[in-house]
Amino acid sequence: MAIKSLLTVAKPSGMSCFPYRKDPSQPCVLDEILATFPAQKQDWPTGFEGGIAHRLDIPTSGQLLIARDSSQLKEIRQAFATKKLIKRYVFLTGKSVSWTKHQVGNAIAHHPKNKRKMVVQRGQSTPHRGKWYPAQTHFRYLASEPKSETLHLWEAVMQTGVMHQIRLHAAFAGLALAGDRLYGGGATPSFFPSDFALHHCGIQNSAWLVEDVPVPDWWPRWVREHI
């Protein structure tokens, strides 16, 4: 596989990739893509309109890969399915731990009762709904907020891509994302534009010519100095 030219966009925090079900009039990434790149108005498979090849949670900012045609979309999705992509994220947490590197390899499944949540497999009898999805996340400490050390910056790298993987694995490791109330991250800091601070820097693959997306301007200066 040799995808030489990919279209990428920087998704802002607080914006949905596709129209909101409850309020389709709200701005979304798809609307921005179709307005900026008219050639993306093609017939796409359901769920990949505009050529959007993968999704990010509404609060999550960062790089989105956009296929230019259905053939390229198929190649991208195949790369995701075969776990040939290395995805790098950074996040902020108000939690502190004694270690600087850690790996979580617990499988993930849907919560047995709460449709908004996922659960980590803690044992053979862990309550869940549906199948278990293999997942592995590598965490690395990057820096702490100067003087106060209220917030800590961490890197998360993964090749799998299960729903809420980083949020859930981080919480399981004692590093719940600041503001992620769903998984024990506490109150959202006042300068966050959305619930939590998780940024997708980019996808690494030698066959693709794509650049990382820098963290948004609202992230503190000390964060940008350590990424």
Residues identified as active-site: 57
Is 155 exposed, middle or buried (CB count within 10 Å of its CB: 0-12, 13-18, 19+)? Answer: middle
Contact in structure between 220 and 226 (CB atoms under 8 Å): no
Contact in structure between 91 and 196 (CB atoms under 8 Å): yes
The CA distance from 156 to 104, in Å, is 10
Label residues 75-107 b or e (16+ Cβ within 10 Å = b): bbeebbeeeebebbbbbbbbbeeeeeebebebb
Mapped onto helix, strand or coil, the DSSP state of residue 70 is helix
Q: What is the dihedral of CA 95, 63, 30, 194, to 10 degrees?
A: 20
Contact in structure between 156 and 91 (CB atoms under 8 Å): yes
Residue-wise DSSP of 17-47:
SS--SS-TTS-BHHHHHHHH-GGG-S---TT
Strand-pairing partners, residue 152, are 93, 144
